[in-house]
A and B are shown apart, each in its own frame.
Chain A
């Protein structure tokens, strides 16, 4: 089954947290495909980016002619690398170590979403592990998963298959309602 089919099935089943394990080579394509298709299904969304500035993601989404009307961003990287920080649909986090700010700002952005149902895309666990140690990441993922469960918000955690240490993967398996692994080469 393709990634987007599995995600749709997971969403329909009422999952709260799904981990999407993506191979490094197809990472960008699969990620953007999932977001574009979900937005095309009249869902609103929040894209948390730890690995690329939100402006980059927006540009790529526009290339795909995705509807961006109801998509908001939490950008954990632009302020660190001196990127553009003027986009009104994006909340810029001071530093990628400030994990609590993500929880807080996702909650605030959820109030701006117009669609009845929405998703949160977390791109990616590997990006966070550059700045925070495993012990703290485990705690963060535990808090995030349970916060989203309480809010009944559908959340996807993206991980790069080749870069996820077994210790983190086992946490994701424990916390997630579903592990989505797709099939190599599909989108």
Chain B
């Protein structure tokens, strides 16, 4: 049989495995992070910002808000564990902070005392009943709604979860909070405190938060010849084709900067679960 001399036409292969139309992103404006996220966090996503003590969670979350505020967005920080006055004092030590963002209402800082006033209760330091949980959800929603906030940070969701009676309630709380925030187009970071146990780092204390959240950004430490290096890894981010490589995080005069971590310089081999 005679062979055809016509060259075979190759079927074009799409290089982007996801294809489709990308979602609109909320840029973090953090050096290196938007590249990891392929442009930023998809607008309306509720993501866990998980990490151990001293890994830079609060700094990153604050810079996310401040950068948004500097670009004209209304942003909101809810501190569950610290008074807002103390938080402001700490913020003033960063070169990227500007007091006028607070006075102009672009950066709004609330603490538990302010939330309690909104809820009309004396204290909220015991176990929440389902009624309390509804009230707290309502308070968060009211704040975002009234301010028309497009960026929100809750620091920390772990402290809120400690007040909830069981894992089902935690799941329900985060799911409903995420649903509401998504409809408002509010991009949210929930700060999650984690611990390293037997060289395994979890994404949350209760183990349910990460399943409900749209994204998980994990911060941690790597030891290299006795030095501690701050690291970051994006575990998941719905609606974004993101990097999964571990990166180094450093606080510089322009704010946090992120660069890929050298592969041979990771001594501890901490496992994630």
Contacts and interface: CB of A to CB of B under 8 A. Distances in A.
Given A108-B252, A108-B254, A108-B257, A97 B262 contact: no
Contact of B225 (A97, A135, A143): A97
A101 B251 CA distance: 10
A139 B261 contact: no
Nearest to A133: B264
Contact of B259 (A100, A132, A136): A100
B160 to A, nearest CB: 34
B3 interface: no
Interface residues of B, number: 17
Contacts of A51: none
A101 B227 CA distance: 13
Contact of B262 (A94, A108, A136): A136
Given A94-B227, A131-B225, A100 B252 contact: no
Interface of A: 94-95, 97-101, 103-105, 108, 131-133, 135-136, 139-140, 143
Given A95-B227, A97-B225, A108-B252, A143 B262 contact: yes
Given A100-B261, A136-B262, 14 more contacts: A94-B227, A95-B227, A98-B248, A99-B265, A100-B229, A100-B248, A100-B250, A104-B252, A104-B257, A104-B259, A108-B253, A135-B264, A139-B262, A143-B260
3 nearest CB pairs, A to B = A136-B264, A100-B248, A95-B227
Nearest to A136: B264
Contacts of A133: 264
A94 B248 CA distance: 14
B224 interface: yes
B14 interface: no
A131 B227 CA distance: 12
26 contacts: A94-B227, A95-B225, A97-B224, A98-B227, A98-B248, A100-B248, A100-B250, A100-B259, A100-B260, A100-B262, A101-B248, A101-B250, A103-B259, A104-B248, A108-B252, A108-B253, A108-B254, A108-B257, A133-B264, A135-B264, A136-B265, A139-B262, A139-B263, A139-B265, A140-B262, A143-B262
Contacts of B254: 108
Contacts of A104: 248, 250, 252, 257, 259
A131 B265 CA distance: 12
At the interface, is chain A mostly helix, strand, loop or mixed?
Answer: helix
Given A100-B248, A100-B259, A104-B257, A139 B227 contact: no
Contacts of A143: 260, 262
Contacts of A101: 248, 250
B252 A98 contact: no
A100 B231 CA distance: 11
Nearest to B258: A104
Contacts of A136: 262, 264-265
A97 B252 contact: no
A133 B262 CA distance: 13
Contacts of A94: 227
Contacts of B264: 133, 135-136, 139
B232 to A, nearest CB: 12
Contacts of B250: 100-101, 104
A136 B224 CA distance: 11
User: For A98, A103, A133, which residue has the most chain B Cβ atoms within 10 angstroms?
Assistant: A98
Contacts of B224: 97-98
Interface string B239-273: 00000000010101110010111111100000000
B248 to A, nearest CB: 4
Contacts of B229: 98, 100
A98 B253 CA distance: 18
A55 to B, nearest CB: 20
B252 A99 contact: no
Nearest to A111: B254
Contacts of B260: 100, 143
A105 B253 CA distance: 10
Contacts of B261: 100
A108 B95 CA distance: 15
Nearest to A105: B252
User: For A95, A97, A104, A140, which residue has the most chain B Cβ atoms within 10 angstroms?
Assistant: A104
